[in-house]
């Protein structure tokens, strides 16, 4: 089964796989967001994070490869009275526009192999304007001990060293690792080991 088929199956349930509420770390980054501007939400799935960003009066592009998830994202945006541009594309192969976004957000998109992750991060960095904000949250290798969500392959998980190397040219880098109880829909529930990253290009 391909990743596309796997995610289409996961998103095909009536309920929202990761819930309808935005990710807690993204909410905690609210004070870092600009008052206006354009945001790219990478692998935004059913739109919970993109919709929240649109509620912050930002112009949102919600990028994902699952049409099933994007139907739910459009419905969630409509119910919350916001608009966002929804683009269906694989996040590894999308033609990321140069220096277009004030903020790029990547929350739990760890289905990428190391080579795919390099493609994705290269595109994300290219798409961000100079001075723009990068927000990333992912699971660390310790998440394999908890098994409460995320990939089962250690090479897909994020470490401090990986983020420092991947975004070495960025400034005001802030990286925090934490273990906490999470409840995001049916897919993320229980003790979790995560890493939070913010930085400016």
Q: Is the pLDDT of residue 85 over 70?
A: yes
Query: HSE of 37 in the Cβ direction (CA atoms, 13 Å)?
Result: 17
Q: C-alpha angle with apex 38: 34 to 43, nearest 5 degrees?
A: 110
* Average pLDDT score, the chain: 92
Separation of alpha carbons 163 and 161, rounded Å: 5
Please write the tens of the pLDDT for every residue from 134-163. 999 999 999 999 888 888 899 999 999 999
CATH number at residue 93: 3.40.50.150
Q: Is the pLDDT of residue 186 over 90?
A: no
Percent of all residues in the chain with a pLDDT value above 70, rounded to a whole number: 96
Strand 59-64 and strand 38-42: the pairing is: parallel
**Residue that is written with structure tokens 């694989």 in the block:** 90
Q: Is the pLDDT of residue 129 over 90?
A: yes
pLDDT band at 3 (very low <50, low <70, confident <90, very high): confident
Give the domain extent around 52: 3-200
Mean pLDDT of the region 151-179: 96
Separation of alpha carbons 74 and 128, rounded Å: 24
Q: How many domains does the chain have?
A: 1
Q: Which H helix or E strand runs over 103?
A: strand 101-107
Provide the whole-model pTM.
Answer: 0.93
**Could you tell me how far CA 86 lies from the centroid of its own chain?**
14
């Amino acid at each position: 089964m391909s990743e596309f088929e796997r995610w289409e199956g996961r998103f095909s349930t009536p309920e929202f796989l990761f819930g309808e509420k935005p990710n807690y770390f993204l909410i905690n980054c609210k004070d870092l967001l600009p008052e206006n501007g354009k945001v790219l939400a990478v692998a935004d799935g059913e739109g919970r994070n993109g919709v929240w960003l649109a509620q912050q009066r930002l112009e949102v592009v919600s990028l994902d490869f699952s049409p099933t998830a994007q139907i739910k994202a459009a419905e969630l945006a409509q119910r919350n009275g916001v608009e966002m541009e929804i683009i269906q594309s694989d996040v590894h192969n999308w033609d990321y526009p140069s220096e277009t976004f004030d903020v790029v957000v990547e929350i739990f998109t760890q289905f990428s192999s190391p080579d795919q992750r390099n493609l994705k991060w290269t595109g994300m960095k290219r798409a961000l304007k100079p001075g723009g904000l990068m927000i990333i949250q992912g699971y660390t290798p310790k998440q394999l001990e908890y098994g409460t969500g995320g990939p089962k392959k250690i090479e897909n998980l994020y470490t401090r060293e990986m983020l420092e190397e991947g975004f070495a040219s960025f400034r005001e880098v802030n990286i925090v690792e934490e273990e906490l109880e999470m409840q995001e829909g049916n897919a993320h529930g229980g003790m979790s080991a995560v890493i939070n990253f913010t930085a400016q290009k």
